[in-house]
Every structure is written in structure tokens, then in C-alpha cells.
Amino acid sequence: MALIDLANPSRFLKFANGAIPWLAGVTVLVFAFALEQAMIAPDDYQQGATVKIMYLHVPSAWLGMLCWGLMSVAALGTLVWRHPLADVTAKAAAPIGAAFTLLCLVTGSLWGRPEWGTYWVWDARLTSELVLFLLYLAVIALWNTVEDPSRAARAVAVLTLVGAIDLPIIKFSVDWWNTLHQGASVFRVGGSTIYPTILLPLFIMAGAFTLLFITLVLAAMRNEILRRRVRTLQLMQASAAN
Amino acid sequence: METTAHIDFIAAAYAAAVIVVGVLIAWVTLDYRAQGRRIAELELQGFTRRSDTTSARPTSPAKEAAREQTAEQSAEQA
Amino acid sequence: MTPLTALLVRDMRIAMRVGGSALMGVLFFLVVVTLIPFAIGPDLALLKRIGPAILWLAALLASLLALDRLFAGDHDDGSLDLILMGRAPLELVVATKGLAHWLTTGLPLVICAPLIGLLLNLDLPEDGALMLTLFVGTPALTFIGLVGAAIAVTLRRGGLLLAVIVLPLTVPILIFGVAAANAAVTGPTAFGTPFTILCALTLASLVVGPFAAAAALRQEME
């Protein structure tokens, strides 16, 4: 089935109905394998067992960025090609991306407490992630402010693309800001190369998270299409009542 | 696993992951059921999308006109 | 359902529906607090010292956000006239609208404050104390804001005027709220003294706010 065939919402629904159970099954299997690998992976010689938090922290950071990338492509799809599924994708992805970014922040702060002695430091990476989270919340707020879905989609698409351009600039300036203020109690045990025994489980975990993300986005897109059908039917009901 | 001094933080991190993923899955599933139920309710009242009207239902002319109009809207929105 | 509970439910529904203002305050609160370390630097000791002041200022600004639509929205669609003609005492009606506003704007702020406090290097017990001061103080901010909202209701560009009217009136709340929170975070004064005064200020504004706002509404709508 070509990608263009999925442009028809009914055909997409059929595809999603078929694909979601399979995807969910594969996700569960890969997750089981990844968790097992993460559990038997050796501890870091400096950080000890807390390195296990990395298996959650890094994949959710990765998904937080991947999701904004997906939303940017969808935004182009909305503005340039008027692809019917583009704004559905963008709307479905936003809360999921926000949730994974939040998970990244929470795990980062739980990792920071034993390592740095405080839940939060204004470390460059964590701070950029926080700004990304704020941008996700702004996008969700914008979706929830405009009533007509196609008008909301265009406004959100512009915001998403501006965000995509601004995010690297934010990252750069936060890095600059952070090195400017050396006084912060940030002490990173970086520099050491990560051993393959830790790296391989991390890759498997990232794969499991990505599968989970794809499944969730597909399911949320299906919900969004159904929600628009409900809206259309309700409009019919309202105009039939007049 | 001899240095498990911070096991509580690790457990909290994994618990947070379970909660976040659980909330997402619950949101997706419950939302799916809610939308399905609302579509079923509306279809019971005789409102169907135009592309689904293979089973011709008896409708009043006014309702038919309204359906024409909203079907066009939905085509625009879709 | 009595008229007042009906009004409460209606106002909360308006705030939570599409385009409503609930949770927007929390988002604003979060953004403002995040921006401040960028301006003053990530020094955790400094952030801890001024953390309560930052949170209180952000809360004060966030609680102003939706205030200008509190009566203006009802005025635009005519429901304010109906409410004024109704049999329920106007003071209680105004207080109910204030309660709905606080439940949708102030309360989410109070619930989120400890999480945001973590960003400013506050520890859990200090966070709890700060949350308590906000829980007691934010109703006062809303009910003082009611007066401003009632005065600005018929004016165009009421939003800016509202801030100018309301912000000076909230100075005592800010002083004692921050003082109590600071006492919990850095000492050396006792937490109880400023906190009790903050409670007293809130109770007073719960009484004065609705009467003054109702009086202003009667004057404006004649």
C-alpha cells in the first residue's frame, strides 16, 4: 500500500485497525527483551546502579526530539501540500511528545539527586529539554484554544515550524549561558567513553521506546479521525434540527 | 549489584515511566471507546456520513439537504 | 440546583471548554519562573534565596491573566444583565464567580507550585510551606482582583487598566506571603507571625472584595 493511499481517512482507519494490535504486540516483546538486557547490564564504575535510569532518560529525550521532528514534517504537510492526514498527525503527536519530554525531565531530575545532590540544576541539556517541554505545552494550548480543527492546524503548523527553527538556537544559547556561569554546581562525569555492554541495551531500549511511540501516535491519530467524524455528525444533527 | 545505594531513585524513575506510559495508553484506549460510542449514538439517530449511505435510510428532504451541506464541509476538513 | 451552584458550574465549564482560560495560568506561571534563571544565572544558592519571591510574583501575575474576562465576557453576551436582575444577592453572585475563577486559575497554580519550586532548588519541606502560603494567599489575589474586574467591565482596553488598578492593592498580600515563605526557607523569623497576618488579610479580602465589586457593578450597569 503506497503512502498516498493512506491519505484517505477511511483507508487510513482500516490500515490503523489492522496495524495497531500487531504493533502493540511487537512493542511488548521488544520492551521485555530491552528491560531484561538493561537489568543484566553492568553498573557504571563511577555512578553505580543509577546508570539504570539512563535507559529511560536517553530514549525519552530522543523521542521528545523525534516527535517535534515528526510534527515539523506534518506542519510542512499541512502548509505546503495540504495533506489530509498531516494535521491529524500533528495533533495526535503533540501530547505524546510532551509526555515523553516530561518523562525525560522527571528521570533526569531523579538521576540528578544522587549525582548532584539536588533535584534540579540548570544544566544546559536539562534546561533545553525544559524549554522544549514549554513549547510542547504552548502547542497543546494553541490546539485547545481554536475551535475549528483546520484553522487550528494552520496556526499550530506555523508555531511548530518556528519552534523547529528556534530550537537549535535555544540549545546554542543555553549552552553559551551555561558556560558563561561557571559557578553552577554542575559536575558531569562525562568524557569517558560508554562501553558497548551499556550501549547495546540502550539502543534496544531506544528501539522499544520508538515502537511504543509509533503505536501510540497511530492510535491517537485513529482517535482524532473518529473525533472529527463525531464533529461532522454533530454539525449534521445541529443543522437538521434547525 | 552490590552498590544499590540509590535503589529508591531508580525505582522512582521506573515508576514514573510506568505512570507516564500507563496514562498515555489509558488516554488512547478510553478516547477510542468514547469516540466509538458517540459515533454509534449519532448513527442510531440516523446521522451517517454520506460515503457510508449504502444502506439507504428513510430521511426527510430537509435532512438530506443538511447532509449535503455538512458532507461538503467534512470533505474540506478531512 | 440553587442559582449559585448553577453559576459556579457554568463558570467552571466556560473556563475549561475550548478556548477557556483554565490551566493557561499555570503555563504562564511555569514560563515566567523558567525565564528568571536565564536572566540572573543558574546559581543555586541565589535561586534558593529569592525562590519564594519569584514564585509569588509569578503567581500574582498569573492570577491576573483571565481576570479581565471575568465580568467582561458576561457583559458582552448580555448574561450579566440577567444575573443583575436575578433574585440571588449580587454580593454572593460575585463571590461565586470569584470562587470559580480561583478554582480554575488559583488552585492549579497552588498544586503545581511545589514542582516548580524544585526548579529553584527548594527542598520538600520548604516547598510545602511555600505551597501553604500560596494556598492561603491566592484567594485574596482573586478577590481583590474581582474589584478591578468589576470596575473595568464596561471599559474598552480594560485589561491593562485592571492590572494598574489591582497590582498596587495586592502589595500587602505579596509582603506577608513572601515573608512567610522566606521564614520557612531561610529563617530567622518565625513562620507563624507573617502567616497569621496573611490569613487575616485573606479573610478580610474575602469579605470586602465581593461587596466592593458588587457596588461597582451596580454603579456601572445603571
Q: CB under 8 Å, gap of 24 or more: what pairs does A78-81 form? A: A78/A153, A78/A154, A78/A157, A79/A154, A79/A157, A79/A158, A79/A161
Which of C27, C42, C121 lies nearest to residue A141, judging by beta carbons?
A: C27
Rg of the Cα atoms in chain C: 18
- Whether C114 contacts chain A with CB within 8 A: no
Question: Which residues are CB-contacts of C192 (< 8 A; sequence separation ≥ 6)?
Answer: none
Q: Contacts of residue A230 in chain B, CB cutoff 8 Å?
A: 35, 38-39, 42
Residue B54 lies in a domain: no
Rounded to a whole number of angstroms, the distance from the CA of A180 to the nearest CA of chain B is: 31
> ipTM exceeding 0.85?
no
Residue B24 lies in a domain: yes
Enclosing domain of residue C93:
3-221
Interface probe for C, chosen from A122, A137, A142, A176 (most Cβ of C below 10 Å), is A122
For residue C22, which of C33, C11, C8, C35 has the smallest C-alpha distance? Answer: C11
> Which residues on adjacent β-strands are paired with residue A48?
A44
**What's the CA gap between A109 and A116, in Å, rounded?**
10
Residue in A closest to B62 by C-alpha: A240
Q: Give chain C's domain count.
A: 1
Residue in C closest to A144 by C-alpha: C18
Looking at A26-30, A55-59, A108-112, which range is the least confident one? A108-112
Higher confidence at residue B8 or residue C132? C132
Span A70-75, average pLDDT? 92
Given a cut of 60, whether residue C154 has pLDDT beyond it is yes
Cβ pair B9:A219 closer than 8 A? no
Enumerate the domain spans of chain A: 19-180+196-231
Given a cut of 50, whether residue A13 has pLDDT beyond it is yes
Specify the DSSP class assigned to residue C106.
Answer: I
For residue C87, which of C14, C150, C153, C7 has the smallest C-alpha distance? Answer: C7
CB B11 within 8 A of CB A56: no
Question: Which residues are CB-contacts of C197 (< 8 A; sequence separation ≥ 6)?
Answer: C176
SS3 state at C19:
coil
Q: Contacts of residue A122 in chain C, CB cutoff 8 Å?
A: 37, 42, 44
Q: What is the pLDDT of residue A187?
A: 43
What confidence tens digit (pLDDT) does each residue in C136-150 have? Answer: 999 999 999 998 888
Subunits with 3+ C-beta pairs closer than 8 A to C: A
Given a cut of 80, whether residue C130 has pLDDT beyond it is yes
> Which residues on adjacent β-strands are paired with residue A44?
A48
Query: CA-based angle B30:A19:A64, to the nearest 5?
Result: 65
Q: Give chain B's domain count.
A: 1
Residue in A closest to C116 by C-alpha: A120
> Looking at chain B from residue 27 to 56, which residues have their Cβ under 8 Å from any Cβ of chain A?
27-29, 31-32, 35-36, 38-39, 42-43, 45, 47-49, 51
Enclosing domain of residue B65:
7-49+59-77
Span C155-183, average pLDDT? 84
Residue B2 lies in a domain: no
Q: Write b or e for each residue in B28-42: b if 16 or more Cβ atoms lie within 10 A of its Cβ, otherwise e.
A: beebbeebeebbeeb
Cβ pair A144:C31 closer than 8 A? no
Given a cut of 90, whether residue B6 has pLDDT beyond it is no
Q: Contacts of residue A127 in chain C, CB cutoff 8 Å?
A: 42
What confidence tens digit (pLDDT) does each residue in A117-172 have? Answer: 778 878 777 888 888 999 999 898 888 877 788 888 888 888 898 888 888 888 77
